[in-house]
Amino acid sequence: MDRILLAHGSGGKLSHELIEKYFLPYFRNPFLELLNDQAVFDIHSRVAFTTDSYVVDPVFFPGGNIGDLAINGTVNDLAMGGAKPLYLSAGFILEEGFPIKELEDILSSMKDAADSAGVIVVTGDTKVVNKGKADKIFINTSGIGVIEKPINISAHNLKVGDKIIISGPIGEHGIAVMAKREGLEFEKEIRSDTAPLNSLVSDMLSASCDIHALRDPTRGGLATILKEFAISSNVGIVIYEDKIPVKDEVRGACEILGLDPLFVANEGRLAASASPDAAEAILKAMRRNKYGKDAEIIGEVVSEHKGVVILKTLIGGKRIIDMLMGEQLPRIC
């Protein structure tokens, strides 16, 4: 048997075989292997809880696949709340006929990503739909993390004077997925930046707890999350084009494709708003972490133009930055 059958989603014998033969070998741990319909553990803490479904097309792209993307994405959503990610769930929707070899490659990437991030998959679910009723594989991951420090990180919490920090160059994930999907080739291959950011956030919080907001600029890109910050906290934000790191190959691809890197998705970057007093120490800590080595302070929070993000351009102009309008790149994550 080398392809997924409808009966793999029956809840009966083949479902059990799928779990025992493919899922458990990758994810085995004392919680999951009980094969109850729920995992049980103790928590005594503030907790963060998050969910994301992944429908990326294509399933495999330079730098990653839907599996590590699904682990990293949920790890990052927890980390963006200042939480230490601990327990993940994984829900699979498989299209009848999906090659089991590809499923194994995805599970293997999920295992590696979970190990890298220090999380475990404790509970899961698999459904199978008829051929043509889903596109290959969709994965939902939900996650639970614990918040151990006295922090209040929220898009509502930006303060005037805060520095805006980005952890590295933007736009790589979106361009990598799009290039693969459309069969585009660039001189230098552009790879997804998909990565777990929990160690980076942990290093940042060790440098200072004066971090007011954190978010990973996925769909909608850096522009959209800065606009969300500005609206949620009712402040203005100014960013400087010359400070925003963009790799040459991404800039080149964006020019060819008519895209603005500010709106292109990232999967291994974060933007932070932090007290001016703490920003330099946080930046230093970030640069010592491999996922933050190219971090930059790119702007600040101001009391003027509340709810509005302004980009100071290279040539000295000003541009108002809005959320992504319409759809730039569907099924990017």
Torsion, Cα 203 78 303 208, to 10 degrees, reads: -20
Closer residue to its own copies, CB minimum distance, 153 or 165: 153
Burial class of residue 72, CB neighbours in 10 A (0-12, 13-18, 19+): buried
Q: According to the binding rule CB under 8 A, does residue 311 interact with its own copies?
A: no
Strand bridging mode 271-274 / 163-166: antiparallel
Closer residue to its own copies, CB minimum distance, 49 or 248: 49
Closer residue to its own copies, CB minimum distance, 100 or 129: 129
How many whole angstroms separate alpha carbon 197 and alpha carbon 174? Answer: 18
Buried b (16+ CB within 10 A) or exposed e, 239-251: bbbeebbbbebbe
How many whole angstroms separate alpha carbon 17 and alpha carbon 128? Answer: 14
Closer residue to its own copies, CB minimum distance, 314 or 325: 325
Select from 1, 34, 184, 320 the one that contacts its own copies (CB under 8 A): 34
Inter-residue contact 57 to 181 (CB < 8 Å): yes
- Residue span 137-156 as binding mask against its own copies, x where in contact by CB under 8 A, dash where not: -x-x-x-xx-x------xxx
Closest CA to 59 of 135, 123, 163: 135
The rounded Cα 321 to chain-centroid distance in angstroms is 22
What is the residue whose two structure tokens read 């929990």? 198
Residues 154-183 that bind its own copies (CB under 8 A): 154-156
Closer residue to its own copies, CB minimum distance, 176 or 213: 213
Q: Output the six-digit token pair for 60.
A: 């495999």
Select from 12, 25, 58, 118 the one that contacts its own copies (CB under 8 A): 12
Select from 10, 206, 234, 313 the one that contacts its own copies (CB under 8 A): 10
Minimum distance of its own copies from residue 325's CB (angstroms)? 5
Strand bridging mode 120-129 / 211-215: unpaired
Candidates 34-42, 197-205, 241-249, 303-311 — which segment interacts with its own copies by CB under 8 A? 34-42
Candidates 160-168, 201-209, 238-246, 325-333 — which segment interacts with its own copies by CB under 8 A? 325-333
Minimum distance of its own copies from residue 188's CB (angstroms)? 27
Minimum distance of its own copies from residue 224's CB (angstroms)? 5
Q: According to the binding rule CB under 8 A, does residue 206 interact with its own copies?
A: no
Q: According to the binding rule CB under 8 A, does residue 215 interact with its own copies?
A: yes
Minimum distance of its own copies from residue 315's CB (angstroms)? 26
Q: Write the single-letter amino acid at 149.
A: K
Closer residue to its own copies, CB minimum distance, 130 or 313: 130
Applying CB under 8 A, the site for its own copies has a residue count of 86
How many whole angstroms separate alpha carbon 279 and alpha carbon 272? Answer: 9
- Biggest CA-to-CA distance, the chain: 67
Candidates 30-38, 109-117, 183-191, 272-280 — which segment interacts with its own copies by CB under 8 A? 30-38
Inter-CA distances, 299 with 160, 226, 302, 313, Å: 12, 11, 10, 12
Q: According to the binding rule CB under 8 A, does residue 118 interact with its own copies?
A: no
Residues 42-71 that bind its own copies (CB under 8 A): 42-55, 57
Q: Output the six-digit token pair for 20.
A: 């025992």
- Residue-level length of the chain: 333
Q: According to the binding rule CB under 8 A, does residue 134 interact with its own copies?
A: yes
Select from 35, 184, 256, 320 the one that contacts its own copies (CB under 8 A): 35
